[in-house]
Chain A
């Protein structure tokens, strides 16, 4: 159990990390966002429920580190049509909470997130519960795991080609 003081320090570091991640995503800073990942990172957006088995069931995104990298490379070509022009984005992150500690020492964090997307098609609002596992690597916080639980993941969704 962390002391009150150290947990407040950790909380502010975690919140700063999550706000920074949100800004990189909103501003399409693809390389900076990719650099937030650890080498074993997993980026997961389930479909049809919150706790499906991604090894057996289809997910909207289930990227290991090399596919995260491929996704970023594709965006960086500037020819990912659904992001040319890029979606205009702003997200609000709140309800950041430190969750139970992970066995490997990773920091478990959860937050709520609301994203406003304006694209050629229309304006779309996305809402999600985000779960993270963060880890200190060389003194910096990094993401080892990010799970984005879209509130409407059971429904038919419009194209989601920005970084959610």
Chain B
């Protein structure tokens, strides 16, 4: 097609139970997504614990753009564009470090870590220039939720809380796994590249239909109870929180099991320190409930996926090129738990992961598949007739139903139709 649809035409490509294949493969649509989604809505960028001290920085991204997350002397977190305001050179070439300022290697302009231009080389010749107009570009709005830092390039629009809506509660649920109520991101990221459109990835994150098939090779040989959570008889549910956020809620299954830490394939007895700290922090009853329910499985649109024990950040580079950045979640004050979180994460994700390599293979094959012209549609109707509402009014369905994909596309359409 290679023509961006007009506002009134998106409905022809996105129907309640199916979407057109070109949405995944058309470069012009990808460019429109950058403008209407990635450079407009709230996008997850990094976690405050990645820059714990004054002057720490890490290089992150919003879509294909490089963004430097800094903590300045005042302790404030800034999101700066990694682009010199002189001639565009990247001012920062290391992934992380500690620096009060960034000096551009091209002509030596120097920027403070809050973005201000503090000096240029050979200042004569710049008489009458207003330095404050030549600062590094910034992500217009920066807000964090429980340490998770989001940025939006739009000056106006919903607040982060409005954007997160009901899904904020899943982050609340997550941080409770720390006896101190805080997640830490300290283990470094694996970066797994796939030749596939980013939407295949985000739809897959809460697709409970595939695990029984895509992951049968590992469920069959590992002594794992995960497979059953995604079977036909499972009582787990999929949920659409609106705004593109989706969840697989496994709590009904874990509550049936009624065994603390069973969600993590272990027991309280194997994590005595952690269990004791959780009980001291939350009281016996609440700690028990937290440890039975398990950590959330939630996809925060468009790029933050919390998969119980690990966190993914999905980055689109081109219409058919994406990177899955993934790390083990670390819970503050839980060293014995954190060690297991790292070990299990290393086994399952990244380029050689026992789970994720197979998912990634599926995205790539889907991407090649949608280039075919007939049939041109992706069918997302599973469970459409059995959707229901939960107590809070969110749509829920069976764990294998395609409620999450339909939710993502409904929100996508609303973003693409609004110019």
Contact = CB atoms under 8 A, between A and B. Distances in A.
A and B form one complex = yes
A60 B365 contact: no
Interface residues of A, number: 36
Interface of B: 95, 186-195, 214, 216-218, 220-222, 323, 326-328, 339, 342-343, 345-347, 350-352, 354, 357-358, 360-362, 364-365
Contact of A60 (B186, B222, B351, B354): B351
A38 to B, nearest CB: 21
A73 B223 CA distance: 12
Most chain A CB neighbours (cut-off 10 Å) among B95, B186, B339, B352: B352
Nearest to B187: A58
Contacts of B350: 47, 58, 60
B346 A81 contact: no
Contacts, number: 108
Contact of A82 (B190, B342, B360): B360
Given A82-B361, A122-B195, A158-B193, 15 more contacts: A47-B191, A48-B189, A55-B342, A57-B187, A57-B188, A58-B345, A74-B221, A74-B354, A81-B362, A82-B358, A120-B365, A121-B364, A159-B351, A159-B361, A161-B358
B217 A157 contact: no
Nearest to A71: B354
A141 to B, nearest CB: 25
B160 to A, nearest CB: 27
Contacts of B365: 120
B194 A159 contact: yes
A4 interface: no
Interface of A: 45, 47-48, 52, 55-63, 67, 70-71, 73-74, 77-82, 120-122, 154-161, 164
| Secondary structure of the A contact surface, majority rule | loop
Sorted nearest first, the 9 A-B pairs with minimum C-beta distance are: A156-B191, A79-B217, A156-B193, A82-B361, A73-B221, A160-B351, A77-B217, A156-B323, A161-B357
A70 B189 contact: no
B188 A159 contact: no
A157 B218 CA distance: 22
A81 B214 contact: yes
A45 B400 CA distance: 35
- Among the interface residues A45, A58, A77, A121, which one has the most CB atoms of the partner chain B within 10 A? A58
A60 B218 contact: no
Given A52-B188, A156-B191, A81 B358 contact: yes
Contacts of B191: 47, 155-157
A148 to B, nearest CB: 10
A154 B342 contact: no
A160 B192 CA distance: 9
Contacts of B218: 70, 74
B192 A156 contact: yes
A66 B189 CA distance: 24
A71 B365 CA distance: 23
A164 B360 CA distance: 18
A35 B58 CA distance: 43
Nearest to B96: A48
A32 to B, nearest CB: 19
Contacts of B352: 45, 60-61, 159-161, 164
Contact of B95 (A73, A77, A121, A154): A154
B359 to A, nearest CB: 9
B221 to A, nearest CB: 4
B195 A60 contact: no
Contact of A58 (B193, B214, B222, B328): B328
Contacts of B221: 70, 73-74, 77
Contact of A61 (B194, B323, B345, B346): B346
